[in-house]
Amino acid sequence: MGHTSVSSRRISPRGSPPNLRRTPPKIRKILVIKEKRAAETEDPVMDELLLASKLKRVDSATGCVSPRAPSTDIAPTVPPTSTTTATVPRPTQKAPKTPYVILPACDTFEKFRKTSRVSVDIGGTLIKVVYSSVMDDELPEEKNGQKRKYAYEDGKRVLVNFKKFTDLDRLINFLREVWTDRKAGDVIHCTGGGSYKYSEIIMKELGVRLQRTDEMRSLIYGVNFLLSTNVDESFTYHHDAIGLNKFQYRPIAADLIYPFLLVNIGTGISILKVDSPTSYERVGGSSMGGGTFMGLGSLLTPAQNFDELLEMANKGDHRNVDKLVSDIYGGSYDELKLKADLIAGSMAKCNRFGETPKKQVHKPEDIAKSLLLMVSNNIGQMAYLYGTRYNLKRIYFGGYFIRQDPITMRTLSFAINYWSRGEIEALYLKHEGYLGAMGSFLDEEGKLDD
């Protein structure tokens, strides 16, 4: 059962997750990895709305509203360091135009100043890359405590960059261009099914060794790192609010993060109950995820890619193709508390059996909208059930399917809120699609593929 969502508006450019920091000043040196723009079209760099520092922060643990500044005494909880590599002199480089985050200046990340770290998550649909670079110019928004937190004594900062690809050749070409200091014996961190399937190609083409991290472990490391390091990583979505109030940052103290449910919506869905960075269980999953939305969407509409399909969905009116409670009862069904606009049967109005002549024509936009609601409602309901089953109060949604889309987030949040009567909270992540790649980037104990 779902709700109706008649008029939805995209508020963000689609593509990459929003940056944590504003675009850096023009003149900046970047060492270690050469950031050369690939020929392919760039993703939008950031979502200005989500970046806006004016967004309300509501503490996830206490519910207190505060415009507080990010804390300055962060101790990142990442796996222990075990590798060191010799420094190779590198040319001055341009500032990144793709999204990045700045790592806190601490011993754990010191090694990334001397040698590049590259990690890839090769999934069923997309390839996500996370890689380091070093920048030694001032960032305008870094003041006092902030500066101390991010800059090493010599002023250098380590950036983590995010990029996605749809095919392996492009990924390899990109890495050949930007990973200039790589040498035989270096390691590329990998996760996802493609880290098995394409391991030989990757090693041969890049001339490096491959270190694999288990997919679930990568997800947990990634989400743990982002939640504990980036104060504004997670947020809630409030469709009926106006303007910036639609989003609320939900910071959470590192010691209060656990337990939670992680619902990762990629090609398929994985549902993880997470008790700590090292204690987690994949408690469920579903094959009806982002791959289903794309697959059915390309069968049923003329959309040529995910963005077009999502765009269509945002313009559509699902009431033309879905049967609502009102289509069956003539209004609401009060005995069961079913509202008139509740979806009773997804795409049930498309049934043409028995029609002579077969006359119905449905708009692709309406079909796309119905499809998106169908997939999202189903995930929302399932997430709620797992949340209740394990008595978890926070559900984080990850995976590239979400794309910070208002229909998707509204539907998921509605389902969680409606069924749990406000007891469980649906939370979203700025780096939703990069959890696995981020975790693999941090993992020091992956298995070498020789």
- Contacts to ligand ADP by CB under 6 A: 123-126, 166, 192, 266-267, 290-291, 293-294, 306-307, 399-401, 403, 433
Is 158 or 429 the residue whose CB approaches ligand ADP more closely?
429
Which residue carries 């399909």 as its tokens? 309
Per-residue DSSP letter, 415: H
Place of tokens 């490391």: 221
CA 82 – CA 79 distance, rounded (Å): 9
Cβ proximity to ligand ADP, 181 vs 432, nearer residue: 432
Question: Using an 8 Å Cβ cutoff, are 390 and 256 in contact?
Answer: no
- Shortest distance (Å) from residue 42 CB to ligand ADP: 13
Nearer to ligand ADP, 251 or 433 (CB): 433
Question: Given 3-state DSSP classes, what are the helix, strand and coil percentages for the chain, each rounded to the nearest 5?
Answer: 35, 20, 45
For residue 288, with 0-12 CB atoms within 10 Å meaning exposed, 13-18 middle and 19 or more buried, which class applies?
middle
Shortest Cβ 38–ligand ADP spacing (Å): 15
Q: Which is nearer to ligand ADP, 21 or 403 (CB)?
A: 403
Q: Which is nearer to ligand ADP, 346 or 404 (CB)?
A: 404
Residue written as tokens 């989400």?
223
The smaller minimum CB distance to ligand ADP, of residues 264 and 346, is found at: 264
Q: How far is the CB of 367 from ligand ADP (least distance, A)?
A: 16
- Residue 83 tokens read as 């590798």
Helices marked H in 207-323 — which ranges?
A: 215-229, 290-300, 306-315
Contact (CB, 8 A) for 42 and 14: no
Question: Smaller CB distance to ligand ADP: residue 221 or 400?
Answer: 400
Closest CA to 5 of 405, 294, 423: 405
Nearest distance, CB of residue 332 and ligand ADP, angstroms: 33
How far apart are CB 290 and ligand ADP at their closest, in Å? 2
Counting every residue written for the chain, the total comes to 450
Contacts by 268-273, CB closer than 8 A, 24 or more apart? 268/124, 269/379, 269/382, 269/399, 270/215, 270/216, 270/219, 271/382, 271/383, 271/386, 272/216, 272/219, 272/220, 273/386, 273/390, 273/392
Q: Please count the other Cβ atoms lying within 10 Å of the Cβ belonging to residue 172.
A: 19
Q: Closest separation between CB of residue 380 and ligand ADP, Å?
A: 16
Is the Cβ of residue 113 or residue 430 nearer to ligand ADP in the bound state? 430
Q: Report in angstroms how near the CB of residue 60 gets to ligand ADP at its nearest.
A: 23
Q: Which is nearer to ligand ADP, 103 or 296 (CB)?
A: 296
Q: How far is the CB of 365 from ligand ADP (least distance, A)?
A: 18
Q: In the block, which residue shows the tokens 């996830």?
A: 60
| Cβ 407 to ligand ADP shortest distance, Å | 13
Q: Residue of minimal CB distance from ligand ADP?
A: 123
Q: How far is the CB of 223 from ligand ADP (least distance, A)?
A: 13
Q: Compute the distance between CA of residue 393 and CA of residue 371 in angstroms, rounded to an integer.
A: 28
Peptide bond into 357 cis (omega under 30): yes
- Judged by CB, which is closer to ligand ADP: 20, or 294? 294
Q: How many CA atoms lie within 13 A of 255 on its CB side?
A: 2
**Beta carbons of 196 and 173 less than 8 angstroms apart:** no
C-beta of 235 vs 401, nearer to ligand ADP:
401
Which SS3 state, helix, strand or coil, does residue 420 take? helix
Minimum Å gap between C-beta 337 and ligand ADP is 33
